[in-house]
Amino acid sequence: MSATTQPARRVVVTGMGVVSPLGCDVDTLWRRLVSGESGVGEITRFDHTEQRVHIAAEVDGFDPEVYLAKRTVRRLDLFSRYAVVAAAIARDDAAFDPRSDPERTGAVIGSGVGGLQTLHVEIEKLLAHGPERTNPLLIPMMIPNMGAAQVSLELGTKGPLSATCTACAAGSDAIAQAFHVIRRGDAEVMFAGGSEAPISAIGVAGFASARSLSRRNDDPTGASRPFDAGRDGFVIGEGAGCIVLEELEHALRRDARIYAELAGVGLSSDSFHMTAPDETGRSQARAMMAAMDLAGLEPSDLAYINAHGTATLAGDVAEVRAVKVALGGHARKVAISSNKSMIGHCLGASGAIEAVATVLTVVNSLAPPTINLTDPDPECDLDFIPLEARFMKVDAAASNSFGFGGHNVTLVFRRFDG
């Protein structure tokens, strides 16, 4: 049989790890998501007195020294710490040691802004004390590829290694790229996801100045309101998500637990605006349709969509239009919800954390709610699972991620039937 007629290598999920505003392990994240709990509160990371926005979805209870040496922790920006810990949790969950087959194991970890915490600290130091006091590790701590690099260093992977920097789509983009690495035979196992630590004075000020953030400072838990008529922007979040993707036969040979199959991925671009989405939804719909086509699914096969759902005025409406274009008449039958109503918008980590939640929706036949959706926008007229989680059969589910600059990614997960 020629290479062109070889059956496509199937890709399955065998491990998952998260660091999130709702918990630093998968079980806690899932329990709190389906309970409809918010991870949004007043910013504690810095003095926000002079800021327009005082709220964020911060990670609480994070202890990197469970997985990293103290000396290593000091040499990593927070986003890299998040990335390594999420990957280590996923490694343990998959019961797979990358060092057992390092050259056939790789990693793709995305980040939208990289080491913003370190950059902010070092700029302050430069202005106060001059260039001679600058940390010699500034550059390797802040560059966005370092989350991926540190995952490889700590876990011992020696296969394909790359980093996506596609804004809010970076985590999903990383998973999509890792999927193709395995499909074309360049690796058997890939650690894939995204990490972000943007909650700094400059990060919050920048997004607030762009009028992207909610200013419901007096109502933190009610501030993130995807698809609601009262939405006024997203709540900035942070964290990391990582999934272990594995070629199916490799997973079966080692008797791995298989959560679900990553059956299809789709990518497209808007070519429309620096920050605003294609308002027609057609560009985003192309990513959705490409993912379903690769998975061999019809629109009617899709039971659930984990929405990008940021709670911005333009973004939510554009996503609704995209779903209608991609699914046609089935758009009004599919169930949809936004995890960002609870974890905020974790930028480059969002798609990865949401991929974990989407896999668990398939596994448990339970879809998390969209909290704070009490007054639906008339233009957002689909089934957004308001307020309470829903038990439902989910054999196939999609996760959407749409990033600044017009980066669109859709992942389609399917129940694994053996």
Q: Which residues are catalytic?
A: 168, 308, 345
The 10 Å Cβ neighbour count of residue 414 is 22
The two tokens of residue 41 are 């509160």
The angle that helices 350-364 and 26-34 make with each other, rounded to 10 degrees, is 70
Give the DSSP H/E element, type plus range, for residue 304.
Answer: strand 304-306
Cα-based distances in Å from 141 to 113, 344, 374:
12, 25, 42
Three-class DSSP category at 3: helix
**Rounded Cα–Cα distance for residues 99 and 209 (Å):** 46
Buried b (16+ CB within 10 A) or exposed e, 379-403: ebebbbbbeebbeeebbbbbbbbbb
Three-class DSSP category at 375: coil
Residue with tokens 């970076």: 170
The two tokens of residue 182 are 């395995």
**Rounded Cα–Cα distance for residues 305 and 382 (Å):** 11
Three-class DSSP category at 367: strand
The burial class, CB within 10 Å (0-12 / 13-18 / 19+), for 63 is exposed
HEC string for 128-168:
HHCHHHCCCCHHHHHCCCHHHHHHHHHHCCCCCEECCCCHH
Buried b (16+ CB within 10 A) or exposed e, 215-246: ebeeebbbbbbbbbeebebbbbbbbbbbbbbb
Which of 16, 71, 7 shows the shortest CA–CA distance to 241? 16
Cα-based distances in Å from 101 to 15, 104, 357:
17, 6, 28
**Rounded Cα–Cα distance for residues 273 and 356 (Å):** 30
Alpha-helix runs per DSSP H in 3-77: 26-34, 70-74
Cα-based distances in Å from 16 to 4, 91, 172, 182, 244:
32, 8, 14, 17, 6
